[in-house]
């Protein structure tokens, strides 16, 4: 993968944030962020997604002003900000631990960033009430943080980041401390706040479903490099390398070597000697080692005759009932961990472990990726 990654921000407006050739090293030897180039549009919701240690949080901290770039420049609204202190960047921040003042009421917490900016008292009261209404906590202004649930505290943290109308809001794993149901509810609430206000949000998470739910675009980080920068749909449907395919959503992987090229498609000889056809995404020559990416919902058990070009024999190993679908683990081409999401229909309820079946998939759903691109 190239060490630079930039993309058009789409139809969200002018460029608000720009990372230009940004690098970060803590020890002067190894780079945590490697030559980062990315433009973030005014009004965009961009998520920096990746595993721990991938460089995403470091990028957010450099943008906030809590870390300094070793090389390169960060721009906010066209102005270089590397030497601008955090409190002068006009940026709202939301952290995982809420960072609310425990001795202050909710209203006092929200008023604090306004008082620092020397806003008039009447204006403060109006803005605080508007912010409370926005996060559906209109009647909670007199409570202290300890009297609120985790979800309510996080709503207050979001309101405090927005109350002074910043150009930009940064969110660092803000939902990580919440339980699953509350986390999913807050995802939609933050998404709707973004849509209603049009504020620019840069969001950091390692949770790929969270990123898919909320973002206009996602930058997938690994080893200090953006592996792919695209819309949620593009990332899921068209991963550019093996790392992105594995990190975004559930994915089956079949490894082998390219044995024939035919324009946009290729034939791959798998490790067990079988051959299948796939889209030649970033493999360009016979003999290239490749990893075929195949989503579980794009594979069919006992497909109709001639409906799939790729057909192989398989054995059902495990069936897990999940309501709307049955998660089927099968042995395919020598792999015991091949997953197929089978729709819950009368045609498939008779399957049982040990059954021999045919499985098939369309060529356009199998992506031959360079194993060494990530």
Question: Could you read off the pLDDT of 132-157 as tens digits, one per residue?
Answer: 998 889 999 999 999 998 889 988 99
| CATH classification number, 15-242, choose in 3.30.70.20, 3.40.50.300, 3.40.250.10, 3.30.420.40 | 3.40.50.300
130: three-class secondary structure by DSSP? helix
- DSSP-derived secondary structure for 143-181: S-GGGS-HHHHHHHHHHHHHTT--SEEEEESTTTTS-HH
Q: Which residue has the tokens 């002067």?
A: 28
Residues 6 or more apart in contact with residue 198 via CB below 8 angstroms: 43
Give the separation between CA 178 and CA 288, rounded to whole angstroms: 45
CB 170 within 8 A of CB 94: yes
Q: What percent of the chain has pLDDT over 90?
A: 73
Statement: residue 41 has pLDDT above 60 = yes
> Per residue in 171-225, pLDDT tens?
999 888 788 888 888 899 899 989 988 999 999 999 999 999 999 999 999 999 9
Whether residue 240 is predicted with pLDDT greater than 50 in this model: the reply is: yes
Instruction: Give the HSE-up count for residue 351: Cα atoms under 13 Å, Cβ half-sphere.
Output: 30
Give the 3-state secondary structure percentages of the chain, helix then strand then coil, rounded to 5: 25, 35, 40
- pLDDT beyond 60 at 35: yes
Residue with the two structure tokens 């089978």: 342
Residue 74, helix vs strand vs coil: strand
Distance of CA 358 to the CA centre of its chain: 34
Is there a shared CATH topology between the 15-242 domain and the 250-370 domain?
no
The pLDDT tens digits of the residues spanning 72-98 come to 999 999 999 999 999 899 899 998 787
Longest Cα–Cα distance in the chain:
76
Domain positions in the chain: 15-242, 250-370
Beta strand segments in the chain, E:
15-24, 33-41, 45-49, 71-76, 79-80, 91-95, 168-172, 200-205, 217-222, 225-230, 252-262, 265-270, 275-280, 289-294, 300-301, 310-321, 325-332, 335-343, 356-361, 367-370
pTM of the model: 0.88
Residue that the structure tokens 């794993």 belong to: 173
Q: Match domain 250-370 to its CATH number in 2.40.50.140, 2.40.50.100, 3.20.20.70, 3.50.50.60.
A: 2.40.50.100
């Amino acid at each position: 993968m190239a060490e630079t990654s930039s993309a058009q921000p789409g139809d969200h407006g002018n460029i608000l944030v720009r990372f230009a050739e940004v690098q970060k090293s803590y020890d002067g030897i190894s780079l945590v962020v490697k030559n980062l180039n990315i433009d973030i549009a005014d009004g965009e919701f961009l998520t920096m997604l990746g595993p721990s240690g991938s460089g995403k949080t470091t990028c957010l901290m450099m943008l906030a002003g809590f870390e300094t770039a070793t090389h390169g420049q960060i721009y906010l609204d066209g102005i270089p900000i590397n030497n601008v202190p955090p409190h002068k960047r006009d940026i709202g921040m939301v952290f995982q631990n809420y960072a609310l003042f425990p001795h202050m009421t909710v209203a006092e917490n929200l008023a604090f960033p306004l008082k620092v900016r020397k806003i008039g008292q009447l204006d403060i009261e109006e803005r605080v009430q508007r912010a409370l209404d926005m996060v559906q906590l209109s009647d909670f202004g007199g409570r202290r943080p300890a009297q609120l649930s985790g979800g309510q505290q996080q709503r207050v943290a979001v309101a405090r980041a927005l109350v002074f109308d910043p150009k930009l809001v940064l969110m660092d794993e803000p939902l990580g401390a919440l339980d699953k149901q509350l986390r999913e509810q807050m995802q939609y609430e933050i998404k709707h706040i973004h849509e209603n206000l049009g504020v620019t949000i840069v969001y950091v998470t390692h949770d790929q479903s969270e990123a898919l739910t909320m973002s206009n675009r996602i930058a997938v980080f690994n080893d200090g490099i953006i592996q792919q920068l695209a819309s949620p749909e593009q990332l899921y449907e068209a991963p550019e390398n093996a790392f992105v395919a594995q990190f975004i959503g559930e994915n089956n992987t079949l490894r082998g070597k390219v044995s024939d090229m035919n324009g946009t498609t290729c034939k791959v000889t798998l490790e067990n000697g079988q051959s299948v056809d796939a889209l030649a995404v970033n493999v360009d020559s016979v003999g290239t080692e490749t990893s075929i990416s195949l989503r579980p919902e794009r594979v069919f058990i006992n497909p109709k005759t001639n409906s799939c070009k790729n057909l192989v024999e398989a054995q059902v190993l495990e069936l897990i009932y999940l309501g709307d679908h049955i998660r089927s683990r099968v042995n395919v081409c020598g792999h015991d961990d091949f997953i197929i999401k089978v729709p819950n229909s009368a045609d498939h309820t008779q399957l049982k472990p040990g059954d021999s079946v045919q499985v098939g998939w369309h060529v356009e759903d199998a992506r031959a990726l360079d194993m060494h691109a990530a």
